[in-house]
Chain A
Amino acid sequence: MKINYISFRQSITRLVLPALAVTLLWSCSKTVDEPTAGINTPSSLDENAGKWKPYVLASSDEIAVAQPKEATSDDYKAELKKVKDLTESVTPQQREQINYWGAGAVYRWNEIARELCARYNSPPASNADGKYPIPDATKPLQDPKFPFANPPYAARALAYLSVAQYDALVAAWNYKFKYNRKAPSKNDTSIKALLPVSDLPSYPSEDAVVAEASVVILKAMFPGEVPFLEAKLAEHKQSRIAAGMNVESDMLAGAELGKAVGAKIMGRARTDKMGSANNQAQTAAMIANARKIGVTEPWVSQEFPPRPPMLPTYGFVKPWNFDSATVVALRPEAPPVIGSPAFQKDMNELLDIAKKQTREQARIASFWSDGVGSYTPPGHWHRKGAELCHENKYSEVRTARTLALLGTTMQDAGICCWDVKYYYYYPRPNQMSSKIKTSVGLPNFPSYTSGHSTFSGAAAEVLAHIFPANKKEVDDMASEASISRIYGLIHYRFDCEVGLASGHKIGGYAVARAKTDGAE
């Protein structure tokens, strides 16, 4: 067979090549660029942070940190020499790690924790018997993975992380200014530090403190991630020495302090009643109570097979900024009676959206969905909080304080909201009408009040106090997060409005603490 080469060649030039050119333009890069956090240069030393009020530690000197060796000692000089050698032989990969951690220790460990929340935010699949196996903390990587990092779980993990970082840094600041060891590059001017150097004393290292305290908490919260966390920890600590920011004894003292504070915080975690937050045996009594107070059609799982409700006794977990009696006192009024005009009005709104959800409503619902596989609403707000701290050039200790205020109020919001949910046991809209389907995934717990709204109200209240210039922005964000649940067709308007108002009230307790913790 004779092949016609001319037409073959023509076809390549006329058709195939232009097509390829177009396609290559579209596909030349498959990488997606994420916003990068630059190196943080704190605008203040926050010299007095050693006197700020810790959460769990009795005081900033509860855990002793030994006096460092003199700057004139041979040991210290040897450490300086080692730092100098390291800074002069930094590899491009080390340089990248230095810059990465230079965005801030608290900032990065918060980001890591959010990623872990997302990775573990998977509800167990049902087995052949139609039952949902419970994750086993001793076999974290087996299916179903432990934990199921749902919103209450994530709220708590992030709260403990932030509190540990904060308490550890308050203690570190106390010793920093007590011992006042200058940064390596100030003791030996031949050391060229690879990150900006301030007058903040370098012993004990704030990075080591944060890294070790964070790892203690995160190993407990995500026991399947120990190797990952240890690798990050080693990288973080090494990056500081390679950057010329700390000598080894700065790091060791910080590491010991961070570990000790982490252990102390975990002591609280072990007795905060999270261990009994999934007591399914109590739901029968809860349902009976809901009927008694007038909820004629209590919530039932809309999953197939029916899934036990998420953490029905999370409302009894120990809150941070008030006591358990206040959780009950903060419980909002009952939702509308099912079938009443007030109920019907909000139901009609949903039926209307079900018929013609707009693209913008779908976008808002999806943006705030924070559902399975995401870092949950508390993670969403931690991200915002961390970004605001970074933009405002907060010091490590002030960043930690902000995220501790934010983290604790969000766990408080979760506790209060879960108390309300299981007190009223109110049905989801789609339980009341099969015409209502969702574009975001249906949560498996009672409707009233909206968790998103409560988390977001509390978060906005705290962030608006700390960043008054951003008050409108964060309030608008919270309102949008709240209404997104209506657009997503999983909440009645009254769930969202009451939840948002409750959240703001709950946030008020953290703000009250902020006003008296010595940082303002």
Chain B
Amino acid sequence: MMHSLLHKGLRLLGILLAFAGSLPSAYAQMPNDAIYMGKKTACLAVSYTHSSWDQYWENSLKRENLNIGTHTTQSVMPMLAVGITKNLNAIVALPYVWTRASTGNLMWQKGVQDASLWLKYRFLNKSGFSLHAIGGASLPASDYIPDFLPMSIGIQCRTATARLLASYRHTSGIYLTASGSYIFRSKINIDRDSYQADDKLYNTSKVSVPNAYDASARLGYLKKAIQAEAFVEYGACDGGDNIRRNDMPFPTNNMKSTVAGVYAKFQPKNIGVNARASHVLSGQNVGQSTAFSVGVLYQFRYAKEAKN
């Protein structure tokens, strides 16, 4: 069996940053596929993502904002996927993110965002059908500003994700994968000691960020060096408030989005490339972003006598 690389995926904190555009991680090599690195092999991927929007949903009102113009989020994300056993993979990633607005006076932000670690475990694999339990956690990796949306590169949450994924792959190479996750998000500290959320004034610097969940379905083809896929993803917060009329977004906002996209990978040998494109079809409290990513992959053995 061919050792594939994983990746794509999304969601790491993609959902957190839905407003800033689907993050780099948005297609990072998140474990939302059913593809595993073989034992003692690893894959290093570096991806670049460009995501932008010029319209966003303020609560449910779709609008433009001439004081932002086109909002762009770019990122570079190195990611390492390691085959521990053939049914257990670990993935780590650390994106560098920068934002900009084409007009207006908001200061652009940049920096190392959140480090993430994922464990992906295939606990059933029968006749092309497989089930996977995936756990992930992320931690802010720098002291970036959380409370300056939409320019912030992140919102400083620690997160933990529990995900179940089911996949069926036909011998022809066609596969169908579906997953659902719940994302626990920690409280955060902002620089102010007073803010509004849920129509209430809070006199503290602690902010309760709502948890989130997501679901995705992907239909694709995987054989030999080629993978191609179309996907739909839905993500939303478990509660949260809305952007107030003509106000800035805030970490407590219930950001929701439905995203559609395509993904492809070509990896004839150790070195490969991939690309991804996605577009937000509908949303609330997020920008209607269109994102493109390209990445290079390098697969290697990190120990001798690797066996699949």
User: How many Å lie between the Cα of A212 and that of B109 in the bound state?
Assistant: 48
Contact B204 A32 (CB under 8 A): yes
Query: Digit string of B114-134 for contact with A (CB within 8 Å is 1, else 0)?
Result: 000001010110110101010
Contact A19 B145 (CB under 8 A): no
Complex interface: chain B residues within 8 A of A369 (CB): 192
Q: Within the complex, which residue of A20, A145, A357 is in contact with B245, where a contact is CB–CB below 8 Å?
A: A145
User: How many Å lie between the Cα of A32 and that of B198 in the bound state?
Assistant: 13
Q: Within the complex, which residue of A123, A362, A430, A441 is in contact with B191, where a contact is CB–CB below 8 Å?
A: A362
The B-contacting residues of A in range 362-394, CB under 8 angstroms, are: 362-363, 366-367, 369, 372-375, 380, 383
B206 beta carbon closer than 8 Å to chain A: yes
Contact A372 B196 (CB under 8 A): no
Contact A442 B105 (CB under 8 A): yes
Q: Within the complex, which residue of A3, A15, A32, A367 is in contact with B124, where a contact is CB–CB below 8 Å?
A: A3
Q: Contacts A122-B246, A125-B245: A374 and B108 contacting too (C-beta < 8 A)?
A: no
Contact B201 A115 (CB under 8 A): yes
Query: Digit string of B228-264 for contact with A (CB within 8 Å is 1, else 0)?
Result: 0000000000000000111110000000000000000
Query: Digit string of B190-205 for contact with A (CB within 8 Å is 1, else 0)?
Result: 1111111001111110
User: How many Å lie between the Cα of A438 and that of B119 in the bound state?
Assistant: 40
Query: Digit string of B157-171 for contact with A (CB within 8 Å is 1, else 0)?
Result: 010111000000000
Q: Within the complex, which residue of A31, A363, A375 is in contact with B208, where a contact is CB–CB below 8 Å?
A: A31
Contact B107 A8 (CB under 8 A): no
The A-contacting residues of B in range 128-179, CB under 8 angstroms, are: 129, 131, 133, 135-137, 143, 145, 147-148, 158, 160-162
Contact B203 A437 (CB under 8 A): no
Complex interface: chain B residues within 8 A of A489 (CB): 107
Contact A303 B201 (CB under 8 A): no
Q: Tell me the total A-B contact number using a CB cutoff of 8 A.
A: 150
Distance in Å from the Cβ of A484 to the closest Cβ of chain B? 10
Contact A357 B107 (CB under 8 A): yes
Complex interface: chain A residues within 8 A of B160 (CB): 19, 22-23, 26-27
Total interface residues on B, CB under 8 Å, equals 56
Contact B208 A32 (CB under 8 A): yes
Q: Within the complex, which residue of B103, B126, B247 is in contact with A304, where a contact is CB–CB below 8 Å?
A: B103
Contact B145 A362 (CB under 8 A): yes
Contact A124 B184 (CB under 8 A): no
Of the candidates A2, A126, A304, A354, the one having the most CB atoms from chain B within 10 angstroms of its own CB is A304
Q: Within the complex, which residue of A143, A359, A375, A437 is in contact with B108, where a contact is CB–CB below 8 Å?
A: A437
Contact A123 B246 (CB under 8 A): yes
Contact B204 A30 (CB under 8 A): no
Contact B184 A26 (CB under 8 A): yes
Query: Digit string of A299-315 for contact with B (CB within 8 Å is 1, else 0)?
Result: 00011110000000000
Contact B245 A437 (CB under 8 A): no
Question: Nearest A residue to B127 by beta-carbon distance?
Answer: A1
A72 beta carbon closer than 8 Å to chain B: no
Query: Digit string of B267-288 for contact with A (CB within 8 Å is 1, else 0)?
Result: 0000000000000000000000
Complex interface: chain B residues within 8 A of A35 (CB): 203-204
A98 beta carbon closer than 8 Å to chain B: no
B66 beta carbon closer than 8 Å to chain A: yes
Question: Nearest B residue to A366 by beta-carbon distance?
Answer: B191
A118 beta carbon closer than 8 Å to chain B: yes
The B-contacting residues of A in range 1-19, CB under 8 angstroms, are: 1-4, 7-8, 10-12, 14-16, 18-19
User: How many Å lie between the Cα of A65 and that of B185 in the bound state?
Assistant: 57
Complex interface: chain A residues within 8 A of B201 (CB): 114-115, 118-119, 375
Complex interface: chain A residues within 8 A of B208 (CB): 30-32
Complex interface: chain A residues within 8 A of B137 (CB): 19, 22-23
A439 beta carbon closer than 8 Å to chain B: yes
Complex interface: chain A residues within 8 A of B135 (CB): 15-16, 18-19
User: How many Å lie between the Cα of A80 and that of B187 in the bound state?
Assistant: 48
Contact A372 B248 (CB under 8 A): yes
Question: Nearest B residue to A28 by beta-carbon distance?
Answer: B184
Q: Within the complex, which residue of A10, A18, A439 is in contact with B145, where a contact is CB–CB below 8 Å?
A: A439
Complex interface: chain A residues within 8 A of B184 (CB): 23-24, 26-27
Q: Contacts A1-B127, A11-B121, A15-B133: A367 and B248 contacting too (C-beta < 8 A)?
A: no
Please, could you name 14 A-B residue pairs with CB atoms under 8 Å apart, sorted by A?
A14-B121, A15-B119, A19-B135, A19-B137, A23-B137, A30-B187, A32-B208, A34-B203, A122-B246, A125-B63, A304-B104, A437-B105, A439-B107, A489-B107
- Beyond the given pairs A7-B123, A15-B133, A114-B201, 4 more chain A to chain B contacts, judged by CB atoms under 8 angstroms and listed by A's residue number, are A8-B124, A22-B137, A123-B246, A369-B192
